[in-house]
């Protein structure tokens, strides 16, 4: 739990038995186990194994959090915004949200705006900025244009989360990632395609550092 970032078990390349063993280890040491990119066939065995625990499953995001009965998540006061371009990007956005929440942040979401419907973005984005958000994650696939648009309109750092939505040349998130790397908008950095975990951790690190400075202030 160095730097406040929880260890996350990457489920996709592990046997269910391995995941269970690692989860027990994390529950013992930290009271919580977060698993990402679960293969569908691992979900039921995990839920059975951890019946006695509190289990939070995000099926679409292929993520699961298991809490010891006495686990208490601390709130840091960090404020994170998560925006998704389309409905297909929501699972990755939810993965990022989950991580930021597990790191103590309050997360506000704006889902299913998208470049073709900029009018659907402007009012909620204004509200989000007014509410004092510290950092914004924008999940987008296909042309990946939304993060640039948001970065062009926001005075806070923006983290681009390209998603593997889209087919043909530049599909599976490649065009989205490349166009975020090529952005003309200021203050946009990126993580890899579908890496909601990475986007969530980075956003939470930013928000928690700001929150910590605020907190010192209010003391």
Binding site for ligand AMP (CB under 6 A): 7-10, 36-37, 86-88, 116, 184, 195, 197-198
Q: Which of 103, 88, 101, 65 has the alpha carbon at shortest distance from 173?
A: 88
Query: Which residue number has the CB closest to ligand AMP?
Result: 86
Closest CA to 96 of 4, 193, 187, 176: 193
9 vs 136 by CB, closer to ligand AMP? 9
Least distance (Å) between residue 8 CB and Mg ion = 15
State how far the Cα of 147 lies from the Cα of 24, in Å rounded to an integer: 38
Q: How far is the CB of 92 from a copy of itself (least distance, A)?
A: 11
SS3 (DSSP) at 95: helix
Residue 96 or 103 with smaller CB distance to Mg ion: 96
Minimum distance of ligand AMP from residue 219's CB (angstroms)? 32
User: How many residues line the site for Mg ion (CB under 5 A)?
Assistant: 3
**Nearest to ligand AMP of 78, 198 (CB atom):** 198
- Nearest-angstrom CA–CA distance, 145 and 166: 13
Contact 114, 214 (CB under 8 A): no
Please, which of residues 92-151 interact with Mg ion by CB under 5 A?
140, 142
Q: CA separation (Å) from 192 to 101, 134, 139, 177? A: 20, 22, 11, 7
Enumerate binding residues for Mg ion (CB under 5 A): 85, 140, 142
């Amino acid at each position: 739990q160095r730097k406040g970032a929880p260890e996350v078990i990457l489920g996709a390349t592990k046997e269910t038995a391995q995941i269970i063993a690692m989860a027990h280890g994390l529950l013992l040491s930290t009271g919580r186990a977060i698993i990402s990119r679960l293969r569908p066939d691992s979900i039921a065995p995990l839920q059975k194994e951890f019946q006695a625990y509190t289990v939070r499953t995000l099926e679409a995001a292929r993520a699961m959090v298991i809490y010891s009965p006495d686990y208490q998540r601390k709130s840091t006061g960090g404020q994170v915004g998560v925006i998704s371009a389309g409905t297909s990007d929501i699972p990755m956005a939810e993965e990022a949200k989950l991580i930021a929440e597990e790191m103590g942040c309050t997360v506000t979401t704006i889902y299913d705006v998208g470049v073709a419907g900029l009018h659907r973005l402007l009012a909620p984005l204004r509200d989000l900025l007014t509410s004092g958000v510290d950092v914004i994650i924008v999940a987008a696939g296909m042309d990946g244009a939304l993060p640039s648009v948001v970065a062009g309109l926001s005075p806070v750092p923006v983290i681009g989360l390209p998603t593997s939505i889209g087919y043909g040349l530049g599909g599976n998130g490649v065009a989205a990632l490349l166009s975020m790397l090529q952005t003309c908008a200021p203050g946009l950095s990126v993580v890899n395609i579908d890496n909601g975990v990475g986007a969530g951790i980075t956003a939470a690190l930013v928000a928690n550092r700001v929150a910590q400075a605020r907190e010192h202030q209010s003391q």
